[in-house]
Amino acid sequence: MKRIVLMGNPNIGKSVVFSRLTGAEVITSNYPGTTVDFTRGRARLQGEQVEIIDAPGTYSLQPTNRAEEVALEVLGWGELVINVVDATNLERNLFLTMELLEKKKPLIMVLNMWDEADRSGIAIDVKRLEEHLRVPVVATVALTGEGIAELVSRLGEAQPLLERETLSEEKKWVEIGRITRDVQKVTHKHPTLWSSLSEATIKPFTGTPVALTVILATFWTVRLIGEGLIAHLFEPLFELYRPLAMKISAELGPGMLHDLLIGRIIDGNIDYVQSMGLLTTGIYVPLGMVLPYIVGFYLALALLEDSGYLPRLATLSDNLFHRLGMHGHAIVPLFLGLGCNVPGALSTRNLETRKQRFIAATLLGLAVPCTAKSAMIFGVLGSYGQGYVFLVFATLALVYLAAGLVLNKAVRGESPEIFLEIPPYRRPGFMVILKKTWMRVRWFLAEAIPFLFLGVLLVNVLYTVGFMEWIARIFSPFMEWWLAIPGEAVVALLVGFFRKDLAVGMLLPLGLEAGQMVVATTVLSLYFPCVATFAVMVKELGVMDTLRSAAVMAMTALMVGGAMRWALIR
C-alpha cells in the first residue's frame, strides 16, 4: 500500500488536513522507544487504497527534540510527501520545504489557511510559486474543506526531481527571501478586532483576569457535561446492567469468587460505589464516575487548543510553572489531572525533558485531586462544614506550589524555557473538535481502562488474602503516634493505600472530630494516586523514577499530616 506522509511546522492545521483526507479509521500510535505520538489513517484516493501518516510538527529536518526526530523517521517511510504550509507565514515555512525538496521524494505543497492569509492582506501567486519550487502547489482552507478535492486530484502530478542542488543553510534563507519577495504581496491592513484581542489576552494585566475567567468557565462547562452524561446516559445504562449483575451474584453464591467479582451485597442490593467487586465497583468507578468527566475535559481541551487560546494560557501561566521546574505547557497535565490523574499523567509526555516530566507527574499524583478524590473530600467533610472542605483543597494547592519549588531545586536535569508560537484566534471546526475528542476518549479507554480494571483486581486479591490488614497492623502504632488519630482510622488510611474510596467508607462510621477528619482526609489525598495512575507513571517515567516519585509523595504526606496534626488536634 502506498504511504503518504504529511509534513509541516507545528500549529498550521496539518491535523485538520489529515482529518479531511482520512476517514474515521485513524489510530494514534506511540513511536517505539519514545513518548512521541503520531497519527496514521487510511483513505481511498482516486480509487487507490493509501495509508496517510501525520508526522509530528517540525520546523526543520535537523531535529532539536524527540518529536522532530520522529518526524524525520516518519518521513523516511513515505513514498509521497504532502508539505502543509501556513499561507499566512510563507517565508518561515519555506525553510522546511527547501529541506524536504532535497530529499528528492515526490512532493506536493498545500498552502493552508488561505482564507486567513486573505483576511490579513497577504496575496500569494500560486503559479509563480509552483515555477520557483517545481512542485504542484494547492491552496486550501482545511477547516471548511476548500481545496481538498483539488489536492487529491493533483497528487499524481507530484514527481521526484532528481537534479536538485543542495544549499547551505545560509543560502537557503537567501533563496527563500528571493522567492517570497517574488510571489507574495502584503497589503497593510488596519489591526482587526481579533488582533487587538490577541494582544490584550497575552499581556499580563489584561490577560490574567481573562485567563481566570476562561478557566472558571471551562470547569463549569466540564462539570455540566460530566453531570449531564451521568444523569442521562451512564446511570440509566448501569441500571439496565443491574439485573444481570444480580443474576451473576445469585449464580455465584457466597464465597471468595463472589467477593472478588461482585463484592458485598448491601441491603440486599449491589451498591456500585461500595460493593467493591470487579464487575460492580470495578467497572462503575472508571466508566460511570470518571469517564463522563474525561469526555468533558477532553472536549474542553480540544476547544482551548483549536481556538488558539491554549498557547496564550501557557504564556500567562509560565511565570508560575517556570518556578516549579516546568514551563507553561504543564498546565495541561494539571488541567486534565483534575478530571482523572490517568490522562493527566499520560499528557506529561508533551513536556520535553525528564526533569519536567518527573516534576509534573509527581505533583499530579501528590496534590491534584481527580474527580473521584474530590468527591471523597466533599463526601467525608461536607457534613462537618464547607470550611473544612476548603481547608483541604487549600492545603493541596499549597503543597503543589511548595513541593514544586523544592523539586525544581532538588531534581537534576534540564528544564528548557518556554518557546512557542502564538497562533491567531480561530473559530474551531465543530466536526474537527468532535473527532479529536472522540479519538482521545477512545485512546483513554484503550490505555487506561485495562489498568484501572487490573488495579481493582490486584487490590481485591490483596485484601482477600489479608495482606493489606497485615501491612496496616505493622505501621499503625507509628501513624497513631505521629498523626494523633485513633487506630481504626489509621487502618483506614493504610487500607486506602490504593483504594481511597474504600477508606472513606471506613472513616465515616468512626465519628472522628473535625480536626482528625481533616488530617485523615488530607493525608489520604496526598498519599499515592490510584493504581492506574501508578501504572501510567511506570510507563511514562520508568520504574526507578516512579519509585522516587512515590517516595516523595509518601514523605510529603507524612510531613504535611504531621504539621496539620499540631495545628488542628490538641
Partner 1 sequence: MQEPITSLRAGTSAQVIALLGPGSSFQRKLRTMGIREGVRLKVVAVHPFAGPLVVEISGRQITLGRGIARKIMVKVED
Question: Which one, of 59, 91, 87, lies nearest residue 179 by Cα?
Answer: 91
Per rule CB under 8 A, is residue 437 in the interface with partner 1?
A: no
Check residue 425 for interaction with partner 1 (CB under 8 A). Answer: no
Site string for partner 1, 493-512 (x = CB under 8 A): --------------------
Q: Among 66, 92, 103, 128, indicate the residue that binds partner 1 (CB under 8 A).
A: 92
Q: Does 62 bind partner 1 (CB under 8 A)?
A: yes
408 binds partner 1 (CB under 8 A): no
Residue 303, SS3 per DSSP: helix
Q: What long-range pairs does 267-270 form, CB within 8 A, spacing at least 24?
A: 270/242, 270/245, 270/246
Contact track, partner 1, 304-323, x by CB under 8 A: -------x--xxx-xx--x-
Q: How far is CA 362 from the centre of its chain?
A: 15
The CA-atom distances, in angstroms, between 513 and each of 168, 461, 516, 517 are 74, 33, 5, 6
Closest distance of CB 161 from partner 1, Å: 23
Q: Name residue, grid cell 466540564.
A: 222
- CA dist 376 and 382 (Å) reads 10
Dihedral angle sign, alpha carbons of residues 301, 303, 307, 312: negative
Q: Rounded to the nearest whole angstrom, what is the least distance from the CB of residue 307 to partner 1 in the complex?
A: 15
Determine the interface stretch with partner 1 among 152-160, 237-245, 265-273, 413-421 (rule: CB under 8 A). 413-421
Judged by CB under 8 A, the residue of 30, 152, 173, 406 near partner 1 is 173
Q: Which helix (DSSP H) or strand (DSSP E) does residue 489 occupy?
A: helix 487-495
**Taking CB under 8 A as the rule, does residue 328 contact partner 1?**
yes
Binding of partner 1 by 187 (CB under 8 A): no
Specify the amino acid at residue 244: L
- Smallest gap from Cβ 329 to partner 1, in A, equals 11
Give the cell for residue 39.
Answer: 497519527
The interface mask with partner 1, positions 119-148, x = CB under 8 A, is: -x----------------------------
Q: Report the residue from 169, 182, 239, 513 that binds partner 1 according to the rule CB under 8 A.
A: 169
CB-based contact 364:344 (threshold 8 Å): yes
Residue span 337-366 as binding mask against partner 1, x where in contact by CB under 8 A, dash where not:
------------------------------
Per rule CB under 8 A, is residue 204 in the interface with partner 1? Answer: yes
Three-state DSSP state, 475? helix
List the grid coordinates of 311: 498557547
Q: Applying CB under 8 A, which part among 54-62, 272-280, 349-357, 388-396 lies near partner 1?
A: 54-62
Grid coordinates of 190: 488596519
31 within 8 A of 77, measured Cβ to Cβ? no
How far from 491 is each of 117, 266, 455, 458, 496, CA to CA, in Å? 64, 22, 20, 19, 8
Question: Given the rule CB under 8 A, which residues bind partner 1?
Answer: 9, 59-60, 62, 64, 88-89, 91-92, 95-96, 120, 169, 173, 195, 198-199, 202-204, 207, 311, 314-316, 318-319, 322, 327-328, 416-422, 424
